[in-house]
Structure 1
Amino acid sequence: MLCENLNPTRRAILGASGALFAWAFMPKFATAAQGRDPRFVTIILRGALDGLTAVPPVGDPDYEGLRQQIAMHTSGDNAALPLDGFFALHPSMPNFQRMFQAKQAAVVHASATAYRERSHFDGQDVLESGYSTPGHVETGWLNRLLEGLPQGERIAPGPSERVRALSVGSTAPLVIRGKAPVLGWAPSILRAADGDLAPRLTDLYGKTDPLLAKLLQEGIETGRIASGLDVKAKGGAGDPDGMEQMARGAARLIAQEDGPRVAALAFEGWDTHAQETERLAKLLRGLDNSLLAFQQELGPAWKDTAIVVATEFGRTARINGTEGTDHGTGTVAFLAGGAIRGGRVITDWPGLKEKQLFEARDLNPTIDLRSVIKGVAVDLLGASAAHLADAVFPGSQAVAPMKGLIA
């Protein structure tokens, strides 16, 4: 394992040893908002999720005409799962539907960041940096959120502790990069090392570099906790099995009594220009199983957990000539966890008539995603609304935290 503050030489040594990261244990301090011991997870879907397929507005009279052969239906083969009568859910997400029915999941529809163009790179910059314009790639909003939380909480330990959050994947997502120390973990893609390698390395560095030996031992323990019996990655961040494995490993780490309380993951492959029906069925199944993995592995901690699933923008309301959709604007965000006041589709529905579409082509965004994240941060983590407006999402003073998202 790698700790963000290690120098390059030590990074190389730890990487060669097969350890993915250094674990820094957290003290048993006071908890965050409402006396909770919260977990906050952000999942980024890179490539722009089609919200009109993931959560189809089957009650909108203009929906089927726009979607044509990829329109979802509430009866027949591969029927969409019911939510509230107007909105349904893609059939690949039965676990999310069960959480929704248990009031532990919600959908935020017709939502978007402040970005209104259609470049993946710029859209992802805005989504993950928290700025209203692209080009700010030094730090992410989740890391700056951690910097502003009161010290002494489990979720934001004092200056003597090194690690506050967990980054999952071979590369840390921008959303969690910054000054606040971050753990990094990813399922191993290498053959498992010989059983005696770790103790031999620990013994070697125990004699020559005690600090590195301690980090190595903690890294080995972290990998053991996260991976369980899995010794090799099942797939990448765009593969359903890979998504589930990343989520399960992250959940095992943040479920630990002394583990991190905040995590960020990024799943790839959501750019569905062609043959969207088959591709999204596969990807949404991976996302759905990932949410189930969090619920299963967190155990009692699930009741104080909030997961936000977001993407850089949506897709066109009309299908294209290859049974897919092109880059759009409004989309959906998913909320899940025992701390979520769920069982709701939260939206100010704009409608799908041509005059109601954004630039006559996209679902018109009516909810600012920043208000959703702010609402969770205030009510779950005890974050300051002023810090959120000034530092986490700079220049967003007019975007108020959404109330009532946390149970």
Structure 2
Amino acid sequence: MTLHRRSFMGAAAVLAAPRMVFARAATARRFVFVVQRGAADGLNTVVPYADPAYADLRGALAIDPASALRLDGTFALHPALAQLHQMYTAGQAQLIHAVASPYRERSHFDAQNVLETGASVPYQLKDGWLNRLVRMLPPDDKAAIAFASAVPMALRGTAPVVTYAPSNLPEADDDLMQRVEQLYARDAQLHGLWSSALDARGMAGGGGPGSRGERRQDGGALGRMAAGFLGKADGPRIAMIETSGWDTHSAQNARLATQLKGLDALMAGLRDGLGPVWADTVVLVATEFGRTARANGTGGTDHGTGAAAMLVGGAVQGGRVVADWPGLAAGQLLEGRDLRPTLALDVLVASTCAQTFGLDPGLTLQTLFPYASANSSANPLVFSGLVRA
């Protein structure tokens, strides 16, 4: 039975092993994509406590409604997401449930490839939707920067991406830097790469936020470090943060609480570090697929389908849960085991990007997710009013 239908309106270590990636564009808006690698459990993140089947399916994993942070008469947040709940109450967070990419198998690698490339099947596309988004924005002399040891798939493509990763090694003195500059001066390829590296180093402020000493830190420190880059007037405008450790096959209660606490601190760190720039910021949090509705025999859950996504930021039209809720009764589950997805993640991503940067929604969907746009049901108007005008 359907409960209700709402209107469709390497840098630092945290959450196991995240990396951050940035891009710059000629706009005041900031867009941050946070990927939860490993398949985050949406049913215990945005908890459907009013669904009569939830408690029985989850057993000992079920979140107690008395401790959950109520969003409305149907959904609540996990108790570890206290800062996010404050943002929701302030109209700066929106939760999207029963959402999924087109992928319907259970391989992390294949699912992440679909999520990051914007394809309908794994390895169908060779570049990432975030790189294609950069190419849709006004050109800039520093088109993209990856604050990582390698560029994630979502940002790979023809738009140039510079990488930056903090180091625990002693900082090189000016004499050494000058000698390397002279060494590379006559090499066309290496000189360009070296110049890009120096630009990224300069953006980091040398020994400033995110440099040596902050390689191991909590979510709040990572958020503040990211804000140190994004908050600059001439800094990056697009960012990607990778988090891992969401694959909770066993001992899920403690592990998920730790993961969500880190994510909560990350959001708060971004908000606090950005200050007034937070009003121009949109953060999209998503995972490659969800987890099984029913708990397994080892105190965890297995690979599933439907999941939960989040929009957070001062530019988000928040304070609501967007869900065409399918229900958790036996006949309502996908293949008798998973939360059935009723909303398309690719359409959510494209709609968010279009509204953030004032782009045409149809063209944005076609560019970022070309195979989704071929489907007549992939209508970006499904997700209207995600971002403040």
What TM-score comes out, normalization by structure 2 length?
Answer: 0.86
Letter in 2 for 1:201: L
Matching residue's letter, 1:58: Y
Residues 1:54 and 2:42 aligned together = no
Residue 100 in 1 paired to residue 88 in 2? yes
Bigger mean CA deviation after superposition, 315-324 or 197-206: 197-206
Structure 1 segment 6-405 matched on structure 2, within 5 A: 31=27, 37-75=28-66, 79-136=67-124, 138-149=126-137, 151=138, 156-157=139-140, 161=141, 163-188=142-167, 190-193=168-171, 197-209=172-184, 215=196, 217-224=198-205, 227-228=208-209, 231-235=212-216, 241-397=217-373, 398=376, 399-401=378-380, 402-405=383-386
Does the Cα contact within 8 Å between 1:60 and 1:352 map onto a contact in 2?
yes
Q: Is the 8 A contact 2:163 2:200 kept in 1?
A: no
- In structure 2, distance between residues paired with 1:183 and 1:253: 14
Q: CA deviation at 1:377?
A: 1.4
Offset at residue 228 of structure 1 (A)? 2.1
Q: Residue 356 of structure 1: CA displacement?
A: 0.5
SS of equivalent residue, structure 2 residue 249: coil
Cα displacement (A) at 1:118 = 1.0
Change (3 A) 1:119 1:208: closer
Contact 1:233 1:242 in 2 (8 A): no
Structure 2: which amino acid aligns with 1:387? L
Greater displacement, 132-141 / 281-290: 132-141
Q: How much has 1:386 moved relative to structure 2? A: 4.0
RMSD, aligned CA: 2.5
Distance in 2 between the 1:119 and 1:84 partners?
A: 34
Does the 8 Å contact 2:290/2:305 carry over to 1? yes
User: Which residue of structure 2 aligns with residue 13 of structure 1?
Assistant: none
For 1:41 and 1:24, locate their aligned partners in 2 and report how far apart those are by CA, in whole Å: 10
Find the aligned partners of 1:183 and 1:249 in 2 and give their Cα distance.
Answer: 18
Question: How far apart are residue 187 of structure 1 and its match?
Answer: 3.8
Question: For 1:333, what is the secondary structure of its paired residue?
Answer: strand
The number of aligned residues is: 360
CA distance in 2, matches of 1:309, 1:41: 8
Q: Is the 8 A contact 2:289 2:306 kept in 1?
A: yes
The percent identity for this pair of structures is: 40
SS at match of 1:396: helix
CA distance in 1, matches of 2:24, 2:318: 32
- Tell me, yes or no, if the aligned pair for 2:281 and 2:313 is still in contact at 8 Å: yes
What is the CA distance between 1:305 and its match in structure 2?
Answer: 0.7
SS in 1 for 2:103: coil
Mark the CA change 1:43 to 1:99 in structure 2 (over 3 Å): closer, same or farther. Answer: same
Aligned amino acid, residue 173 of structure 1? P
Sort the Cα spacing of 1:215 and 1:179 in 2 relative to 1 into closer, same or farther, 3 A. closer
Cα distance change, pair 136–224 in 1 and its aligned pair in 2 (3 A): farther
Q: Which runs of 5+ in 1 are unaligned?
A: 3-19, 32-36, 236-240
Which ranges of structure 2 fall in alignment gaps of 5 or more residues? 1-9, 12-18, 186-190
Structure 1 position 192, deviation (Å): 3.0
Measure the CA separation in 1 of the matches of 2:222 and 2:184: 31
Q: Deviations over 1:271-315 (max 9, x none)?
A: 000000010011111111111111111121111110000000000
Aligned to 1:15: none
Shift of 1:234: 4.4
